[in-house]
Amino acid sequence: MKLLNKINIRYFLFSVTLLILLGIAINFVLFYIISEELDEKLLHIQKRITAQIKNENQVPVIKPYIEVVEVADRQEQSYFSDTIIENLHEKEMEEFRQLISIKTINGKTFKIIVRESKLESDELFESIALIIFLTFIVLVFILFVVNSRIAKSVWLPFYNNLKRVKKFSLNDLSPLHLKPTGIKEFNELNKVIFSLTEKVISDYKSIKQFSENASHEIQTPLTIISAKLESLINGNGLNTEQLEKVKSIYSSVHRLSRLNKSLLLLTKIENKQFRDDEEISIRKVIEEKLIEFQELISLKNLQLETNLNEDISKVMSPLLADFLVNNLISNSINHNKEKGKIKIEIKERQLSISNSGDTLLSNSGNIFNRFYKENPSSKSVGLGLAIVKKICDTHNIKITYSFKENMHCFMLDL
C-alpha cells in the first residue's frame, strides 16, 4: 500500500471515529442544555403564575400549558416530569415537559402544572446538532484534502528520486546523485544512497579490473607453455606415446587460451573499453564477413539467402560490430545441418539471421548464457552468443531468438 494512501486511510478512520465520539458527546451536552433551558423556562412561568395568584388572586389557565387546581392542604413540593398529551387541534399525541408544584398561596393550596411542548426544543436540538455535524464533516473533508495535497507535494521529491533509484544500473558506472529535496530526512537518505552506490560501483569496478588483469596475466604463461609444447612437438626426442600426451596438453592449453581471450573480451565489453566512435554500416560489415565465410559456407554445402537492400547505420566500435556479425554468422554456420540454409535479412532497422535446424532447442531461454551448450560434447567454447548478447545489451539493441518453420532465427532491433 502506498504511504500516502496509508496515511489517508488512517486519517480518515481517525476522523470518522472522532466524529462519532464527538457527535455522541455533543448530543448529550446539547440535550442537557436544552432540557435545562426548558426546565428553567417552566420554573420561571411557574413563579410568575404564583406571583399572579398572590397579587391579583387570579388563576390563569391555558390548557394544556397552564393548569391550576386548588387541592387539599399538602406539603409544598415541585418536580419535573415528562408526559404525553393529546393535541386537541391535530389529534396527535405530543410530548410535553411539565413542572408540577404544590404551592400554598394566601392560605390556599394550589397544584400548579406548567407544561411546555417538547416539540419545539426537539426541533431546536435537531437543527443545532445538524449544523454542528455538517460543520464537522466539511472540516474533516477540507482537512483531508489539504492534508493529502501537502503530503503529495512533500513526498514528491521522494517519489522522483525513487524513480531514479529504480533505474540505477551498475553498468552506468556512476553513483546516484539524487536531487536535494529541502527535507532533512530525505537529504540524508539521498546521501546514504549516494555513498552506497559509490561503494558498490567502486567494488564492481575493482572486481572487473581484477578479472581483466587476471586474464591479461594468464596470457603470458599460456604463451610460454604453448611455445614450449610446440618446440617439444617439433623436436625428435619424444616417442609416440609421449607425443600423444604432449599433443593432448597442447590442445587443452589452446582451448584454455581461447576461453581466456573470450572472457577477456566479455569483460572489456562490460567495462565499456570500446569506444563507440564510428558510424557503422551494418550491411557493409555483413558483406565483408560473408566474403570471409564464403568458403566455409560452400564447404558445408549451405545455401545462402540474403536480402540486404536496406542498410542500418549504427554508432559503435568497429571491432564490436565485427564481433557481433562474426559470431552470429559463424553460429549460423556451426549449428546448421548438412545442405541447410542461412538467411540474412535487413528490414526496417531489423537484422535477422536465421539458419536451418531440425529441432527446437531444449533450453532456448539459456541460449545467451555463458558456457551454455545445447550439445555438451561440442568443442565450442560456448561464449559466442554470450558475447553477442553483451554487445547488444551495451548498445541498446534488442535481440530475440525464435524457432519457426525449422529455422533458428536471431532478430536484432538496431
Q: List residues binding another protein (CB under 8 A).
A: 216-217, 219-220, 222-224, 226-228, 230-231, 233-234, 243-244, 247, 250-251, 254, 257-258, 261-262, 264-265, 273-274, 295-296, 299, 317-319, 323, 326-327, 330, 333-334, 378-381, 383-384
Give the nearer residue to another protein in terms of CB position, either 5 or 213: 213
Give the nearer residue to another protein in terms of CB position, either 86 or 244: 244
Q: What burial letters (b/e) apply to 165-204, b meaning 16+ CB within 10 Å?
A: eeeeeeeeeebbebeebeeeebeebbeebeeebeeebeee
| Cβ 296 to another protein shortest distance, Å | 6
| Cβ 260 to another protein shortest distance, Å | 8
Task: Please work out, in degrees rounded to the nearest 5, the angle formed at the alpha carbon of residue 384 by the alpha carbons of 383 and 387.
Answer: 85
| Cβ 270 to another protein shortest distance, Å | 15
* DSSP code string of 196-247: HHHHHHHHHHHHHHHHHHHHHHHHHHHHHHHHHHHHHHHSS---HHHHHHHH
| Cβ 154 to another protein shortest distance, Å | 50
Give the nearer residue to another protein in terms of CB position, either 43 or 297: 297
Give the nearer residue to another protein in terms of CB position, either 247 or 272: 247
Give the nearer residue to another protein in terms of CB position, either 105 or 263: 263
| Cβ 393 to another protein shortest distance, Å | 19
Q: What burial letters (b/e) apply to 381-413, b meaning 16+ CB within 10 Å?
A: bbbbbbbbbbbbebbebebebeeeeebbbbebe
| Cβ 245 to another protein shortest distance, Å | 11
Percentages (nearest 5) of helix, strand, coil residues in the chain: 55, 20, 25
Q: Which of 409, 139, 381, 104 is nearest to 265 (CA)?
A: 381
